[in-house]
Amino acid sequence: SQIRHYKWEVEYMFWAPNCNENIVMGINGQFPGPTIRANAGDSVVVELTNKLHTEGVVIHWHGILQRGTPWADGTASISQCAINPGETFFYNFTVDNPGTFFYHGHLGMQRSAGLYGSLIVDPPQGKKEPFHYDGEINLLLSDWWHQSIHKQEVGLSSKPIRWIGEPQTILLNGRGQFDCSIAAKYDSNLEPCKLKGSESCAPYIFHVSPKKTYRIRIASTTALAALNFAIGNHQLLVVEADGNYVQPFYTSDIDIYSGESYSVLITTDQNPSENYWVSVGTRARHPNTPPGLTLLNYLPNSVSKLPTSPPPQTPAWDDFDRSKNFTYRITAAMGSPKPPVKFNRRIFLLNTQNVINGYVKWAINDVSLALPPTPYLGAMKYNLLHAFDQNPPPEVFPEDYDIDTPPTNEKTRIGNGVYQFKIGEVVDVILQNANMMKENLSETHPWHLHGHDFWVLGYGDGKFSAEEESSLNLKNPPLRNTVVIFPYGWTAIRFVADNPGVWAFHCHIEPHLHMGMGVVFAEGVEKVGRIPTKALACGGTAKSLINNPKNP
């Protein structure tokens, strides 16, 4: 195994992701940030310097388990203190599993500001993937707003709330268009884009040769949008989800929620004299964003040769049956690790939208998460009782809660307590969706767990009940790090709390997390070794350790 060393500087820069110039958070002058590529078992060292003028920064390595290095998880207020302007932090961790991952900011809404990039892990040197392909295409998806993140943050915490609205543009590898379409020739209502191909907003073309098999790695780090990916005339063979192999299946398109990743195989067996559309549309919310587009370019055709038919149509945004059908098809590849048959503990997490003192928030079992200034990892290791609420949040919600009506907000509060697990405990979480503040409205939320993969045991409509127990899949549930809850539905997951550290579990929709939609899990913090000083140099840990040092 090797050490992969990266030296990065984070700073704002002028950039035009969708042809409109704005300030974007870049790394070493690039947007999206540089791709990390390593083999399973390698060490990755990222020497990250904060070149922002007034903002702290952290980077989370989404899908990397951080076994033994919980302080490197890159979540501000949880695993570390934010890195101050001018300072450098060394992230140092092992990438255990091959797969398609990414990294992104995890402070305020800095992910939305453009702080993200790909992290690809190949099998250990000398080992092969369990499927063959001739070439690879890497696709990182995101969504983009013209309004600055700073304004968005203020709007979300204003009274009354100012919602961010739908994104202006879907970006494919940081590139998209606004107020024009590269597929205008099929629709007289669209304005054609005048692009030469060298612009920062020119599409990232997929160049392929005919009669070959390609692996397309697709990851979504959207702030809000639930996406659907399709290629004209080409079936997709799904082989990987969130860095775990899945039982391969064919589909015409995939749904991908924020925080998820997939690998699909395509075979370039179509008419080689044509090019084909790659289309990324939005779903699950009433859409107001045109699809992100690019071309599958069969070489040696010119990229200026547009396909004979328009881009594949994105399925109806509210065809949730179709979404469920796709999601339910995902199962673990044969030979994947199976979940423990029994759980030690099961917690139920009710997802509600609430109003607290006039502020719109999201809450889990009536608690809306507001992260404390002292990161939990250090606070727990050094037993700082005032750093966060020592009472754990509720593990259940009232049995008679009516998920079909708007919440009453009576007991909802701001909180920062922690769900603490015994090391090795087998934990089930039943995520329960419910009606929002508005009548007859419930949204889709992709929940992401740090520090673990989990088995997705099942999904269902309505409220989870004891009768569903027998429907849970213990045979071949997929291992994932992100899973969706559908409107008014439930999702059951299981994981083993065997990774000492403190771990966020949260909705991956950036504004939802910002509005409190997350919880904090912890296990075996007493087993955590040395934490770098810089991860502790803020809040209560700084105060305590400067006066009374205990850090070995």
The binding site for Cu cation consists of 60, 62, 104, 106, 445, 448, 450, 506-508, 512, 517
Q: Could you tell which of Cu ion, its own copies, none binds residue 507, using a CB distance below 5 to 8 A set by kind?
A: Cu ion
What is the C-alpha to C-alpha distance for residues 122 and 101, in angstroms, rounded to an integer? 11
**Bond preceding residue 32 cis, omega within 30 of 0:** yes
Query: In terms of CB distance, is 19 or 434 closer to its own copies?
Result: 19
| Contact status, residue 32 vs residue 114, Cβ threshold 8 Å | yes
Instruction: Confirm or reject binding of residue 59 to Cu ion (CB under 5 A).
Output: no
Q: Could you tell which of Cu ion, its own copies, none binds residue 422, using a CB distance below 5 to 8 A set by kind?
A: none
What order of strands is seen across the sheet that includes strand 3-15? 22-27, 3-15, 43-50, 88-94
Secondary element (H or E) of residue 5? strand 3-15
Query: In terms of CB distance, is 39 or 148 closer to its own copies?
Result: 148
CB of 547 to its own copies, least distance (A): 6
Query: In terms of CB distance, is 78 or 493 closer to its own copies?
Result: 78
Query: In terms of CB distance, is 160 or 462 closer to its own copies?
Result: 160
Query: In terms of CB distance, is 316 or 546 closer to its own copies?
Result: 546
CA-only gyration radius of the chain, Å:
23
Closest CA to 281 of 110, 166, 193: 166
| Contact status, residue 540 vs residue 386, Cβ threshold 8 Å | yes
CB of 545 to Cu ion, least distance (A): 36
Q: Could you tell which of Cu ion, its own copies, none binds residue 109, using a CB distance below 5 to 8 A set by kind?
A: its own copies
Give me the torsion for CA of 126, 130, 132, 137, rounded to 10°.
-90
Residues near its own copies (CB under 8 A) are 11-14, 23, 53-57, 77, 81-82, 84-87, 107-110, 148, 150-151, 153-155, 157-158, 162, 371-373, 514, 533-534, 536-539, 542-543, 545-549, 551
Closest CA to 351 of 317, 400, 397, 306: 397
CB of 105 to its own copies, least distance (A): 9
* Site stretch for Cu ion (CB under 5 A), options 69-77, 234-242, 388-396, 437-445: 437-445
Query: In terms of CB distance, is 92 or 551 closer to its own copies?
Result: 551
Q: Cα–Cα–Cα angle for 214, 218, 223, nearest 5°?
A: 165
Q: What is the DSSP letter of 545?
A: H
Please report, in range form, the residues annotated as the binding site: 60, 62, 104, 106, 445, 448, 450, 506-508, 512, 517
Q: Could you tell which of its own copies, Cu ion, none binds residue 543, using a CB distance below 5 to 8 A set by kind?
A: its own copies
Q: Could you tell which of its own copies, Cu ion, none binds residue 512, using a CB distance below 5 to 8 A set by kind?
A: Cu ion
CB of 335 to its own copies, least distance (A): 44
Write the CA distances from 33 to 12, 50, 115, 176, integer angstroms.
12, 14, 7, 16
Instruction: Confirm or reject binding of residue 448 to Cu ion (CB under 5 A).
Output: no
Query: In terms of CB distance, is 91 or 459 closer to its own copies?
Result: 91
Query: In terms of CB distance, is 151 or 338 closer to its own copies?
Result: 151
* CB burial readout 21-54, b (16+ within 10 A) else e: ebebbbbeeebbbbebebbbbbebebebbbbbee
CB of 259 to Cu ion, least distance (A): 10
**45: helix, coil or strand?**
strand
User: In the set 215, 448, 450, 512, which binds Cu ion (CB under 5 A)?
Assistant: 512
Q: Could you tell which of its own copies, Cu ion, none binds residue 445, using a CB distance below 5 to 8 A set by kind?
A: Cu ion
Q: How many Å separate Cα 248 from the centre of its chain? A: 22
**395: helix, coil or strand?**
coil
Closest CA to 152 of 161, 142, 139, 140: 161
**Bond preceding residue 192 cis, omega within 30 of 0:** no
User: In the set 10, 164, 436, 507, which binds Cu ion (CB under 5 A)?
Assistant: 507
What is the C-alpha to C-alpha distance for residues 135 and 213, in angstroms, rounded to an integer? 7
Instruction: Confirm or reject binding of residue 445 to Cu ion (CB under 5 A).
Output: yes
Query: In terms of CB distance, is 306 or 545 closer to its own copies?
Result: 545
User: In the set 208, 293, 493, 509, which binds Cu ion (CB under 5 A)?
Assistant: 509
* β pairing state of 345-356 and 292-298: unpaired
CB of 47 to Cu ion, least distance (A): 33
What is the C-alpha to C-alpha distance for residues 234 and 247, in angstroms, rounded to an integer? 19
For Cu ion, the binding residues (CB under 5 A) are: 445, 507, 509, 512
